[in-house]
């Protein structure tokens, strides 16, 4: 099953035929189908699959206990109505690169594994890279067990429904200690490679980024009988906060997004009692991000005083800047004959492993439009093939 047939086998899983987007969230039916797909791809290659206590999957070529493994892979879960490539390109390309090494008769002297990390997007439970953070200890298991989805189900309850034992969640130092390095191939979520006119790039660092939940509380009332002067409408406070986020981000060349809003009671003819809104904020360094969130919070509080509403803020998932291992990065750039290096504002499991001390690197595959987290996300087949070739060259360089 080469790249194309693996890609086609995965393509219908979690697909929304109306939008062309993907909905594959932690432990839902689409996620389980992705896990089955992973298992059959591994089985077709006589690779043994290990699922750690956090739901991360590893397909092994060689003895996992030998240590110093070269691990590659990515994730299969998506954002709501996400694209086909963010995550899956890295996992499918990893299996295709293993095929390429075997076709070429490469005999790795280190174990190689294809990884599929659980819940990278954090769509269902709110914490990005939950699987890799649990594996490395960056996310404590008791905190993870309290996470709940929008239907109010806790991670613990969901794991039980999927015949997983929540008590197995948590760091796995033995598994992590056996990983010598991790290389993640990913579609570029931007247009740097388009501008440089090449198909493959290597990551230098991941920007600091995070998610904060704003809660705006006001007073529910009748939309038709309440004079404007008599209202405490949290929607107004939220709306001004979203505009302030836009302005502050532009002023500091950062990124601020409110992509998710929940209104209660969400009635057309009722002034809301509460608005919850999630801010995704990112910037080139950590004080830019903290200053940005601070400025937005101050402006929200000022507006709340005018509106007679209350605002509270809680951090849900915060990630510091991560610079990838320089020696590994340079070795990969050289092995690829000299390709551009670029930073990214997108978080990845590779960043979590690097932050935990596992030398990590990322290969980016050109994205003609730069669009991601959208059904429009796309990479040219020739560039996907270039990605597999590059990953095969990197695995050969590192493992053989
Ligand atoms: O949100 C991100 O940066 C990544 O797609 N999880
Ligand atoms: Mn993503
Ligand atoms: Mn991704």
- Mind giving me the DSSP string for 254-274? -EEEEEEEEEES--TTEE-SE
359: domain range?
Answer: 3-207+321-399
Residue 47 Cα to ligand 2 midpoint, Å, equals 27
Question: Do 192 and 277 share a domain, yes or no?
Answer: no
3 state DSSP class of 335: helix
Q: In this structure, what DSSP letter does residue 283 have?
A: -
Look at residues 319, 339, 362 and tell me which one is the last residue of a structural domain.
Answer: 319
Question: Do 23 and 103 share a domain, yes or no?
Answer: yes
Cβ neighbours for 351, distance < 8 A, ≥ 6 positions apart: 129, 206, 319, 322, 324, 360
Which helix (H) or strand (E) is 5 found in, with range?
Answer: helix 3-10
Question: Do 178 and 58 share a domain, yes or no?
Answer: yes
Question: Do 84 and 156 share a domain, yes or no?
Answer: yes
Question: Do 155 and 24 share a domain, yes or no?
Answer: yes
Q: Indicate if ligand 1 lies below 6 Å from the C-beta of 130.
A: no
Cα 213 → chain centroid: 18
Q: Indicate if ligand 1 lies below 6 Å from the C-beta of 120.
A: yes
Question: Do 131 and 219 share a domain, yes or no?
Answer: no
Question: Do 53 and 157 share a domain, yes or no?
Answer: yes
Question: Do 10 and 140 share a domain, yes or no?
Answer: yes
Q: In this structure, what DSSP letter does residue 338 have?
A: S
Q: Which of 24, 77, 78, 189 to mutate to test the pocket of ligand 1 (most atoms within 8 A of CB)?
A: 189
165 touches 55 (CB < 8 A): no
Which helix (H) or strand (E) is 88 found in, with range?
Answer: helix 88-103
Cβ neighbours for 174, distance < 8 A, ≥ 6 positions apart: none
Q: What is the CATH classification number for the domain harbouring 312?
A: 3.30.70.360
Q: Give the chain's residues under pLDDT 70.
A: 1
Total domains in the fold of the chain: 2
CA distance 364 to 203: 7
Residue 121 Cα to ligand 1 midpoint, Å, equals 6
Question: Do 289 and 362 share a domain, yes or no?
Answer: no
Q: Which of 22, 79, 351 to mutate to test the pocket of ligand 1 (most atoms within 8 A of CB)?
A: 79
CA distance 363 to 116: 16
What ligand 1 atom has the least distance to the C-alpha of 120?
Answer: 6
Instruction: Return the C-alpha torsion angle 270, 275, 280, 283, nearest 10.
Output: 110
Q: Give the predicted TM-score (pTM) of the model.
A: 0.96
Q: Indicate if ligand 1 lies below 6 Å from the C-beta of 77.
A: no
Residue 181, strand partner residues: 70
Q: What angle do CA 117, 115, 149 make, to 5 degrees?
A: 15
185 touches 94 (CB < 8 A): yes
CA distance 107 to 130: 34
Query: Strands 209-217, 274-282: parallel, antiparallel or unpaired by DSSP?
Result: antiparallel
| Per-residue confidence (pLDDT) for residue 1, from 0 to 100 | 54
Q: How far is CA 169 from CA 53, 118, 132, 141, 396, in A?
A: 5, 12, 11, 6, 33
Residue 348 Cα to ligand 3 midpoint, Å, equals 6
Look at residues 319, 354, 384 and tell me which one is the last residue of a structural domain.
Answer: 319
Cα 294 → chain centroid: 24
Termini Cα distance of the chain: 23
Question: Do 176 and 305 share a domain, yes or no?
Answer: no
Question: Do 97 and 118 share a domain, yes or no?
Answer: yes
Look at residues 298, 319, 340 and tell me which one is the last residue of a structural domain.
Answer: 319
| Per-residue confidence (pLDDT) for residue 209, from 0 to 100 | 97
384 touches 365 (CB < 8 A): yes
118 touches 76 (CB < 8 A): no
Phi, psi for residue 389 in degrees, rounded to 5 = -60, -45
Q: Indicate if ligand 1 lies below 6 Å from the C-beta of 206.
A: no
Question: Do 172 and 108 share a domain, yes or no?
Answer: yes
Q: In this structure, what DSSP letter does residue 154 have?
A: B
């Amino acid at each position: 099953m080469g790249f194309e047939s693996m890609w086609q086998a995965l393509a219908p899983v979690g697909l929304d035929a109306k939008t062309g987007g993907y909905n594959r969230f932690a432990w839902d039916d689409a996620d389980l189908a992705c896990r089955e797909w992973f298992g059959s791809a591994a089985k077709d290659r006589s690779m043994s699959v290990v699922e750690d206590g956090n739901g991360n999957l590893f397909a092994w070529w060689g003895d996992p206990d030998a240590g110093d493994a070269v691990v590659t892979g990515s994730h299969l879960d998506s954002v709501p109505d996400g694209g086909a490539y963010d995550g899956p390109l890295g996992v499918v390309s990893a299996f295709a690169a293993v095929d390429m090494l075997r076709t070429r008769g490469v005999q790795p002297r280190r174990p190689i594994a294809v990884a599929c990390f659980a819940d990278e997007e954090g769509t269902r439970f709110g914490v990005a890279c939950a699987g890799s953070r649990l594996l490395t200890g960056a996310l404590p298991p008791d905190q993870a067990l309290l996470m709940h989805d929008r239907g109010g189900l806790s991670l613990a309850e969901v794991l039980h429904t999927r015949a997983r034992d929540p008590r197995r969640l948590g760091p796995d130092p033995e598994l992590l200690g056996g990983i010598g390095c991790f290389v993640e191939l990913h579609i570029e979520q931007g247009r740097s490679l388009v501008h440089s006119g090449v198909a493959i790039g290597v990551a230098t660092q991941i920007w600091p980024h995070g998610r904060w939940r704003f809660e705006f509380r006001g007073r529910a009332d009748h939309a038709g009988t309440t004079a404007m002067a008599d209202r405490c409408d949290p929607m107004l406070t939220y709306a001004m906060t979203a505009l302030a986020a836009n302005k502050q981000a532009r002023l500091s060349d950062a990124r601020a997004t409110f992509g998710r809003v929940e209104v209660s009671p969400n009635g057309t003819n009722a002034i809301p009692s509460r608005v919850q809104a999630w801010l995704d904020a990112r910037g080139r360094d950590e004080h830019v991000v903290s200053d940005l969130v601070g400025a937005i919070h101050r402006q929200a509080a000022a507006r709340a005083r005018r509106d007679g509403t209350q605002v509270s803020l809680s951090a849900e998932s915060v990630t510091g800047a991560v610079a990838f291992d320089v020696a590994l990065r340079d070795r990969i750039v050289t092995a690829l004959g000299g390709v551009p290096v670029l930073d990214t504002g997108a978080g990845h499991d590779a960043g979590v492993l690097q932050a935990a001390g596992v030398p990590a690197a990322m290969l980016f595959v050109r994205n003609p439009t730069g669009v991601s987290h959208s059904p429009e996300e796309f990479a040219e087949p020739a560039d996907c093939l270039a990605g597999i070739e590059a990953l095969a060259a990197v695995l050969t360089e590192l493992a053989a």
